[in-house]
A = this chain, B = another copy of it.
Amino acid sequence: MEVQKRALLEAALFQANKPLTLEEIAQVVALPQDEIERSLDELAAELRAEHRGVEILEVEGKYEMRVKPAHVQKVAHLTPHADLSRGLLKVLSMIVYKQPITQSDIVKTIGNRAYDYVKELTDRGLVRAEKHGRTKRLELTEQFMTYFGIRSRNDLIEMFRKQEADEAQAAPPTPSTDEKINGEDGVREVS
């Protein structure tokens, strides 16, 4: 790939605020998709070097440049916009907690919005939905583990238990955790 096109590829991934399809990249870079795929692989390999802070993430055929999970926590405060809304996070946490859980269980708790949330989570590859009678059984995917940079759901539950234990000892939880997330519900929930 000639240098100019390589620069354009980087510029496109840097500029985009959503994952890009190969077609979208091809429009910018003006190259056949297989060549772009090859260049993306090359770029991804370069970014794997330890001194690089970002990575290329491929989810369901879409490509995205992201801060590596190991650094997310340290730079998260530099932008207020998380890529998962509060509603999505809520549904996700229900699945983490109760997996395997069905879609209808979630509908019972948060109402019809659940259908949209589950769809978005499966579209983004964070959750797998399998037919289960009249509803769907929901499970976390590998992609979910990658997103949060963890190896298994147990890691998470462990963290959660530890935090709970800490909090039981210490002061009440800080509200800041919630505020950082873009609430699409508009209102902050009172807990």
Question: Which residues of A approach B to under 8 Å, CB–CB?
Answer: 3-4, 6-12, 14-17, 20, 24, 28, 50-54, 65, 67-68, 71-72, 74-76, 78-81
Contact = CB atoms under 8 A, between A and B. Distances in A.
Given A15-B75, A16-B79, A68-B11, A6 B51 contact: yes
Contact of A78 (B4, B6, B12): B12
A143 B12 CA distance: 23
A15 B79 CA distance: 6
A94 to B, nearest CB: 28
A17 B53 contact: no
User: What 10 pairs between A and B have smallest CB-CB spacing?
Assistant: A11-B53, A10-B53, A7-B53, A3-B51, A16-B78, A11-B71, A17-B79, A15-B75, A6-B51, A11-B67
